[in-house]
Amino acid sequence: MCGIVGILGQGPVAGQIVDSLKRLEYRGYDSAGVATLEGGLLTRRRAQGKLKNLAARLAEEPLAGSIGIGHTRWATHGKPTEVNAHPHASDGVAVVHNGIIENFRELRAELIARGVAFTTETDTEVVAHLVGEQLQYGKTPKEAVAAMLPRLRGAFALAFLFEGEEDLLIGARQGAPLAVGYGEGEMYLGSDALALAPFTNLITYLEDGDWVALTRESAEFYDAQNRLANRARVRTEASAFLVDRGNHRHFMSKEIHEQPEVVGRTIAHYLDMSAGRVSLPFELPVDPAALDRVTIVACGTAYLAGLCAKYWIERFARLPVEIDVASEFRYRETPMRPNGLTIVISQSGETADTLASMRYAKGEGQKTLAVVNVTTSTIARECDVVAPTLAGPEIGVASTKAFTCQLAALAAVAIALGRARGALTAEVEARLVSELIAIPGLMAEAIKGEAAVAQIAHQLSRSSDVLYLGRGVSYPMALEGALKLKEISYIHAEGYPAGELKHGPIALIDEKMPVIVLSPSDQWLEKTVSNVQEVAARGGRIILIGDARAAAEADVHLEKFIQMPDMAADFAPLVYAVPIQMLAYHTAVAMGKDVDQPRNLAKSVTVE
């Protein structure tokens, strides 16, 4: 995950910038750079590899200047070379960037048509040129950024430095975090509070869609409509703890909000973004064309990520998937063929049943691929191939960002299997990849609905039972919705395939029980809508999570409607996870429960 630092200082800042970038090293990166103003002119130093390489460059060719921006880059578009390292510069502006500019190919083509020459393979360079153009048209830096931001789609954070502007830094945030730090006659920007901890513990977090103009004495915040906005200053404990809650009440809330960024990072790790195709960061341990099935084993929320993957692998790769919870699988004595593929999924990489299942599969001669978040874990060490999720440390016991990162990695693996087996054409792969690239931006969009979801959660907190329904790949999401809710609010909740309604749960429906229906506009929409009507006919209380089309087609009284962005439905679980998590979170908060440490549950279950 990239890191951003900006400093408006009193003395030379390049060294300070490198020092605070060091505090972001834990996020992972493969190149780094700094830009400052020397006599009003932009100067840069960049280096491939670790920060010590950048520090060595700076020792050879020091950078003066009391204003600057710096960056650690985790390569997404283009290799981790010095040329692709940030900051990127164009006419009179330098920029550093975290996240993904989803529409960069369109923007790049548009700029090339206007005669702009590109020097890097990055998506970031389009931002530098778009702002540079505006400056050329005579706009001020603030006007230039305000004019450019609406052109960008995706989830990202940006920091800008302008030639001749010794007292101005601009930052912008859409779906990836950015914070302002306040010093004595100094001002700072950082992609997390940890970067700023040596300088200050007085922080303002930008809200989504905000941008900020900083001088040494002031911070002017603007919202997405360019209206001046008031944003609170908070004291952070970042210096005391490696993992900080930011301005969130609970880790779970922070982790829900981090998803556009970490899912973007995970997706980028599995794609060649510029070529628009999947590029797995490892060799598959089997020949996909020779497989007759895939086995998936996991526990809890990780198991439900696996259930989503079953739909994707069967559809994209035309490969049957057998899936089970690890505590059952390990004792079933299921026969397995040598050289088949077993996928285990685990955030911690230490879950006892998952580990034992993996060992069983290995004993049967299977090749094992482990989707793990902790790459130093036992499962990561013992499997044949590690498929990392780049969610960062997950503290809340109820898994959120690790789950959506698991979905992202599994979606890429499913596409890769499809291609290797000749089940997906290059054209379909390109479509699926562009759908994946759009996911972080759609997640950020879904997060914006939080206030409305919180209100619904308030009502939900008075229920004693809740039923979640979904079809197709929304069925595992119905299970996940129910699991999340019961884990942290202790309300009894069940998830059901919508088509099974008539075979049991319909008997429970009355005017008291909320029925939450997940209904993206997918191939199952019509059928899900009939189930909604069955619930309505029995006076059920329907909460629909779907897009405008789903609500229109349902054509019944909806007690509540959580409107989701319009999207291609293939990877809907990644986006629909957001309201599901927020519903559980706000219900538990309304009930005064211990959200991050729910009773009886553990983050990592290392016993049977």
Strand order in the sheet with 187-190: 41-48, 31-38, 67-73, 3-8, 187-190, 179-182, 202-205, 234-235
Which C-beta is closer to ligand G6P: that of 300 or that of 418?
Answer: 300
Residue from the set 20, 84, 354, 357 that interacts with ligand G6P by CB under 6 A: 354
- The yes or no reply on residue 300 touching ligand G6P (CB under 6 A) is yes
- The yes or no reply on residue 327 touching ligand G6P (CB under 6 A) is no
Which C-beta is closer to ligand G6P: that of 208 or that of 258?
Answer: 258
Q: Rule CB under 6 A: which of 382-401 touch ligand G6P?
A: 397-399
Identify the burial level of 499 via C-beta atoms within 10 angstroms of its C-beta, where 0-12 means exposed, 13-18 middle and 19 or more buried: middle
Which C-beta is closer to ligand G6P: that of 62 or that of 393?
Answer: 393
Tell me how far CA of residue 381 lies from CA of 298, 369, 377, 410, 560, in angstroms.
17, 11, 6, 19, 47
Residue from the set 90, 191, 204, 351 that interacts with ligand G6P by CB under 6 A: 351
Smallest separation (angstroms) from ligand G6P to the CB of 342: 15
Which candidate in 50, 362, 560, 603 is catalytic?
A: 603
- Work out the number of other CB atoms within 10 angstroms of the CB of residue 227: 8
Going 104 to 30 to 370 to 417, the CA torsion angle's sign is: positive
Residue from the set 347, 357, 366, 404 that interacts with ligand G6P by CB under 6 A: 347
Smallest separation (angstroms) from ligand G6P to the CB of 174: 29
Number of chain residues interacting with ligand G6P (CB under 6 A): 16
Report the distance separating Cα 314 and Cα 177, nearest Å. Answer: 36
- The yes or no reply on residue 375 touching ligand G6P (CB under 6 A) is no
Q: Nearest residue by C-beta to ligand G6P?
A: 300
Residue whose C-alpha is closest to residue 412's, from 379, 437, 384: 437
Going 115 to 120 to 122 to 125, the CA torsion angle's sign is: negative
Which C-beta is closer to ligand G6P: that of 124 or that of 351?
Answer: 351
- Is 603 an active-site residue? yes
Residue whose C-alpha is closest to residue 68's, from 132, 20, 9, 3: 9
Give the bridge partners for 172, in sequence order. Answer: 158, 211
- Residue 135 three-state SS: helix
Strand order in the sheet with 514-519: 492-497, 465-470, 514-519, 541-546, 560-563
- The yes or no reply on residue 604 touching ligand G6P (CB under 6 A) is yes
- Residue 33 three-state SS: strand
187-216 b/e with 16+ CB inside 10 Å = b? bbbbbbbbbbbbbbbebbbbebbbbbbbeb
Give the bridge partners for 494, in sequence order. Answer: 467
Cβ distance 123 to 99 under 8 Å? no
- The yes or no reply on residue 301 touching ligand G6P (CB under 6 A) is yes
Which candidate in 2, 299, 308, 383 is catalytic?
A: 2
Report the distance separating Cα 253 and Cα 391, nearest Å. Answer: 14
Smallest separation (angstroms) from ligand G6P to the CB of 397: 5
Smallest separation (angstroms) from ligand G6P to the CB of 288: 25
Q: Rule CB under 6 A: which of 302-321 touch ligand G6P?
A: 302
- The yes or no reply on residue 357 touching ligand G6P (CB under 6 A) is no
Which one of 2-10, 197-205, 343-351, 536-544 is the stretch in contact with ligand G6P (CB under 6 A)? 343-351
Q: Rule CB under 6 A: which of 584-603 touch ligand G6P?
A: 601, 603
Smallest separation (angstroms) from ligand G6P to the CB of 605: 5
Rounded to the nearest angstrom, the gap between the alpha carbon of residue 266 and the centroid of all alpha carbons in its chain is: 7
Q: Rule CB under 6 A: which of 72-111 touch ligand G6P?
A: none
Which C-beta is closer to ligand G6P: that of 14 or that of 370?
Answer: 370
Smallest separation (angstroms) from ligand G6P to the CB of 253: 16
Tokens read off for 394: 């997950």
Look up residue 306 and give its amino acid.
G
Which C-beta is closer to ligand G6P: that of 59 or that of 607?
Answer: 607
Which C-beta is closer to ligand G6P: that of 300 or that of 546?
Answer: 300
The three-point CA angle 401-405-411 to 5° equals: 150
Smallest separation (angstroms) from ligand G6P to the CB of 458: 25
Which C-beta is closer to ligand G6P: that of 303 or that of 312?
Answer: 303
Residue whose C-alpha is closest to residue 217's, from 69, 463, 8: 8
Tokens read off for 589: 């908060």
Residue from the set 34, 299, 370, 446 that interacts with ligand G6P by CB under 6 A: 299
- The yes or no reply on residue 544 touching ligand G6P (CB under 6 A) is no
Q: Rule CB under 6 A: which of 396-455 touch ligand G6P?
A: 397-399
- Is 2 an active-site residue? yes
Which C-beta is closer to ligand G6P: that of 351 or that of 368?
Answer: 351
Using CB under 6 A, list all residues that contact ligand G6P.
299-302, 346-348, 351, 354, 397-399, 601, 603-605
Catalytic residues: 2, 603
